[in-house]
Amino acid sequence: MKKGDFLEFLRSELCPKLDARKDLNIHKSREVEELIRGTGARILYLPVYAPELNPIEMMWSVLKHFIRQLCRIGKYSMEQIVKTSLLLINPSSFRSWFAKCCYCTP
């Protein structure tokens, strides 16, 4: 993506709905920062990778636990184990993971 295209995307699409963005080098230009700050938002740069801020990592941790437990039984296919493991995750856990990662949850 070219810089001009990215800036136009920010002006017309992202800034009006600004919620979150990735910490890519293209996002750190002066023009990008001015556009974002112009919306009243503040810029917080995350570390290159922050699993503790990613609720998906928490879900995978629980999923891997269930998979390890079910693999011990040994009579199921991996597909069956993954499907069953996903069903075992309590839906309220998703809200907790997002809250733990500092995402606003109603």
**How far is residue 40's CA from residue 15's CA, in Å, rounded to a whole number?**
10
- pLDDT value of position 19: 47
- pLDDT value of position 106: 56
Give the residue among 17, 26, 22 at the shortest CA–CA distance from 48: 22
Helices (H), the chain: 3-9, 30-38, 55-73, 78-88, 91-100
Tell me the residue type at 42.
Answer: R
pTM score of the predicted model: 0.47
> Which segments of the chain have a pLDDT < 50?
19-21
- pLDDT value of position 25: 63
Q: How many helices (H) and strands (E) does the chain have?
A: 5, 0
